[in-house]
Amino acid sequence: MLLVGFAVALVATAGLVTLHDEILKASFEQRDQAIQSWVHGFAQPVLTEVMRGLSWIGSPYMLVPAVTLAAGLMWWRRRKDNAVLVASAALGGVALDEVMKLHFKRLRPDVPWAFVHEHSFSFPSGHSVLAMVMYGVIVYKTHGRLRSKWAKSALVVGAVVMVAGIGVSRVYLGVHYPSDVLGGYFVGAVWLAAVIGSDMWVDAQRI
């Protein structure tokens, strides 16, 4: 089911071709750059450190060991389905991001004030893809186990804040255009829907 979901997600995200064609137009690119400059206008030392922290939280340096540890613990506690779900969600998100990057080959923003410099392609934002997928999975697997409405609300709000914060941090630091982040959210949301749909289908077969 996850393989089918991945294929569906790959086809669905092909719709980004239309968005990418719009991005390449001069008028859209000017708006993209204007938003990026507006975000940079809030730059100050403390905020920069916060944004660096958010970007680090959403980076492979944080996610790879975190996902490996989480999946390993789930497998050890005999929650093999959850372990497979978490690992597949992460690996699928990375794969989709890499495929899209190689397809679109959009260059990184060329701004003199960038706080971080990266050399991979820009569209879509991998941080945004994985933030949407992983925090979405956390909410999906945890929400139903919480009894308090306040706890459930805090979980959802916290996840939304983290996903949004990680995306904004990439624009703030100068390594992504706003449209890269939005594209990443779209890819992540499609893959997250495929992952959750596969898990729900498996559960339904057991009833």
Which one of the listed residues 40, 103, 117, 127 is annotated catalytic?
A: 127
- Residue 126 makes CB contacts below 8 A (sequence gap 6+) with 94, 97, 98, 101, 184
Spatial separation of the C-alpha atoms in residues 48 and 37, rounded to whole Å: 15
Question: Are residues 155 and 143 in contact, defined by beta-carbon separation less than 8 angstroms?
Answer: yes
Quick one: CA torsion of 45, 47, 48, 51, rounded to 10 degrees?
Answer: 160
Assign 124 to helix, strand or coil. Answer: coil
176 tagged catalytic: yes
Which one of the listed residues 20, 119, 143, 176 is annotated catalytic?
A: 176
How many beta carbons lie within 10 A of that of residue 4, not counting itself?
12
Q: On the CB side of 102, how many CA atoms lie within 13 Å of its CA?
A: 6
- Let me know if 33 is exposed, middle or buried by CB neighbors in 10 A (0-12, 13-18, 19+): middle
Question: Are residues 123 and 181 in contact, defined by beta-carbon separation less than 8 angstroms?
Answer: no
Q: Which residues are catalytic?
A: 127, 176
